[in-house]
Amino acid sequence: SEPSLGPRGAGHPPGHPHPPGGGGAAKSSATVSRNLNRFSTFVKSGGEAFVLGEASGFVKDGDKLCVVLGPRGPEWQENPYPFQCSIEDPTKQTKFKGMKSYIAYKLVPSHTGQQVHRRYKHFDWLYGRLAEKFPVISVPHLPEKQATGRFEEDFISKRRKGLAWWMDHMCSHPVLAQCDAFQHFLTCPSTDEKAWKQGKRKAEKDEMVGANFFLTISVPTGPGASLDLQEVESQVDGFKAFTKKMDESALQLNHTANEFARKQVTGFKKEYQKVGHSFKCLSQAFELDQQAFSAGLNQAIAFTAEAYDAIGDLFADQPRQDLDPVMDLLALYQGHLANFPDIIHVQKGALTKVKESKRHVEEGKMELQKAEGIQERCNIISFATLAEINHFHKIRVRDFKSQMQHFLQQQILFFQKVTQKLEEALHKYDSV
């Protein structure tokens, strides 16, 4: 079967031409075999067609994605115009004279300052475009869609927080943040339906997808810029083991946090309020003694009962301050971790083709120049994969540092409130 060059082939306006093939017109008696599984990520992403030199097209300067060498190895070139985008005020809106309801979110990008409103279906459309376009980039997953209860306040609030994390990761990624489809999503006026549809069609007709996407990646050249295949393989294998372990521990932490939150909302609240009720019963029993000198004690015990009742409420309210944000972050990262097996599969597929071509050269079945072309194109995929791995670690350290600080700060504030309640109750006995 013929290789796929992506959904819509190639052919951008004049820019930087990439002819098919990897150099040398000399015929060789052997070719690198195709992957028999045409549904593998390596094939579907266009990685195989690219590595075998079957992608051709023109890359405009604006479509170039640059990988540079940083202190930790290959990195995506930083966005020269970084920005953030807030997601606020989810509001219920209607159309078709009130027959259809939906939630719209207010987005305010810092680089324009102009607010736009987007529905979940707009986020969903954007995610689909980006996931198709960038096979070696981990596009963050959206919070799950929900058919029932989608207008309930708790669900709307939780989804907004999930979308805020999603937006933060989009804006923080040097490649995704500058993508035309994302910029259209952020900047097209909500009221201009015609402009929205034009931008949407343009994104859907993007020709630099599939095999052609890899033509847009520009990698370091010159001395010190070459990659050692064995070292790359070792790094990718190490990252694969890391993601497996992180996924397992994230699942465990999510389960533990969820269970702990459930106990606080139900069990802890109930137990503290049972203690409070018992103290209240004791104070009511003591009140049967009408002597004046016992009145202070009765009041102090009644206040202690109220303190324990209030502490029960504090426990029930606390998870949304500390545990829920941790679980929101874990959900986002579980999405990233689910992306990496496919990203790694593309890189591994490219490495396999290089090994195969080297064997053919040694056996005299392939021209050296053709094998070098395959290795050169494999290097492009390897540079991009390592850049994405480095970006993941950089953002992971940033996020988990911030979230753990927030968690501990909220825990400290919580126990300070509990301590304050107990100290207030204790002082009531001073005048008894």
Q: What DSSP letter does each residue of 4-52 carry, written as one string?
A: P--TT---PSSSEEE-SSSS-----S--PPPPS-TTSHHHHTTHHHHHT
Which tens digit of pLDDT belongs to each residue from 222-240?
A: 877 889 999 999 999 999 9
CA distance 54 to 216: 15
CA distance 258 to 327: 8
Residue 150 confidence (pLDDT): 56
CA distance 371 to 28: 10
DSSP character at residue 176: G
CA 218 to chain CA centroid, Å, is: 24
CA distance 368 to 364: 9
Both tokens of 326, joined, read 């941790």
User: Domains plus CATH for the chain?
Assistant: 85-232 (3.30.1520.10)
| Helix (H), strand (E) at residue 291 | none
Instruction: State percent of the chain over pLDDT 90.
Output: 72
Both tokens of 315, joined, read 């426990």
Q: Which residues pair with 103 in a beta bridge?
A: 92
Instruction: State percent of the chain over pLDDT 70.
Output: 89
CA distance 315 to 337: 32
Q: How confident is the model at residue 141 (pLDDT cuts 50, 70, 90)?
A: very high
pTM (2 d.p.) = 0.86
